[in-house]
Structure 1
């Protein structure tokens, strides 16, 4: 696991489209999935939410794309930019396929140990 927000190389961005329909959710999801920086998306009860971690060198182009992709929802869209000064994001290991075993492998103990190590680094211990 690797924490990658502390160096300010990425911009954390969330947007919420309120009062959206299911067909609008599908359309928005299709548009958002085109961006390689999408971290997560979800919809329910008339709202659509998407979260991105955008490399700083691509923020201008990404905002241009989002502006065009969200034109139908203007007035119902809220953007949130997170303060990255104390932010930390990580993912679980993604190389979980063991070619020799020809199977997917999840080592929970190894993942937990890496996470605990990361916490110690963040806390400066």
Structure 2
């Protein structure tokens, strides 16, 4: 993959990794809180509640997360006291929120919805609107 202006070799790859976010078809489910699952790519923003909720709202999972026993502080696993399980479709949205939360100039989506829920009426990201452009709340 060519990414103009980013250099070659190890330094170029390292810069590209920092400036990109990827959601794979087989995304990972972390037994962390909902907020930690979202902010995982930017540890310095783990406590940025506004950014976490705004990104979740744009992707369409905010109401689900707010309804959990401890809201965004709920561990996403029934193995924990007051933990909760999410559906496959909800986990897909968490994976998308995580990618968009990174605020990376390069976002790669490897069929993030191929394994689960049918497509939604409003696509999570389309050119010029949605989570890719937080200034535009909806399409």
**Do Structure 1 and Structure 2 share a fold, with TM-score over 0.5?**
no
Greater strand fraction, Structure 1 or Structure 2: 1
TM-score range, shorter chain: under 0.3
Higher RCO, Cα 8 Å, sep 6+: 1
TM-score, structure 1 normalization:
0.25
- Calculate the TM-score normalised by the size of structure 2: 0.24
